[in-house]
Chains A and B, each alone.
Chain A
């Protein structure tokens, strides 16, 4: 069956360290993968997109890698800050009936401590 897995346990790190979140998937062949941030009581907000032919993408302190052989994406936040504390969701595209749709992982909660 198709599955997207993110660490269900919260990730606790110290301010200034690099946070690394993992997204694994099975039985999908996505053309791209997206990462979203969700704060409590809010809707998810888009952060980054990486395509299947891209190994790495960067945006400010954020870095995403995409390994289609391992079926895995890693999301890094360097020099983390308490303001980075949130839940991070990965989403990948899949086609159904000739149309694309985005399927989300359950998310990983990140807590950055001062």
Chain B
């Protein structure tokens, strides 16, 4: 089975440019998460969707960040305009059932973003 698929794997962009990260969750999974990982702050939850609906975006750092999930098999995380402090690894993850039942989160391999 294919896991969570993210693209691009690596992106280097100039400050001020728009960045779009893409994610395809595991088929049949109904919850999708975007995390950001840095050395300083570890793995932070940015936003999560349940059945394509955004449930909690309290982790989104500021208005420059936005996320969409137009259907069950695709999500995007957009940063506009990007800044050097956005440099991090962005992980998408999905899970089949509710976290309240202790279902496992499956992570993608991450998108490594560098803003110069």
* Interface set, chain B 44-95, CB cutoff 8 A to A: 45, 48, 50, 55-56, 58, 91, 93
Cβ-neighbour of B42 out of A31, A46, A105 (below 8 A): A105
Question: What interface size band does chain A fall in?
Answer: 20 to 34
Task: Please report whether the interface of chain A is mostly helix, strand, loop or mixed according to DSSP.
Answer: strand
**Which chain A residue lies CB-closest to B93?**
A43
* Interface set, chain B 22-45, CB cutoff 8 A to A: 33, 35, 41-43, 45
Instruction: Of the listed stretches A17-25, A75-83, A96-104, name the one at the interface; the rest are far from the partner chain.
Output: A96-104
Cβ-neighbour of B56 out of A34, A45, A99, A107 (below 8 A): A99
CA distance A68 to B109 in the complex (A): 32
Encode A86-114 as 1/0 by CB contact (under 8 A) with B: 00010101011101111111110000000
**Do the beta carbons of B100 and A49 come within 8 Å of each other?**
no
A42 within 8 A of B: yes
A71 within 8 A of B: no
CB distance from A5 to the nearest CB of B (A): 11
A44 within 8 A of B: yes
**Which chain B residue lies CB-closest to A47?**
B104
Sort A-B residue pairs by CB-CB distance and give the 7 closest, nearest first.
Answer: A43-B107, A106-B42, A100-B99, A104-B43, A46-B104, A100-B100, A32-B102
28 contacts between A and B (CB under 8 A): A34-B104, A41-B109, A41-B110, A43-B4, A43-B93, A43-B107, A43-B108, A43-B109, A43-B110, A44-B107, A46-B105, A49-B102, A91-B105, A93-B99, A93-B100, A96-B56, A99-B50, A99-B56, A100-B99, A100-B100, A101-B48, A102-B33, A102-B45, A102-B99, A102-B105, A104-B43, A106-B42, A106-B43
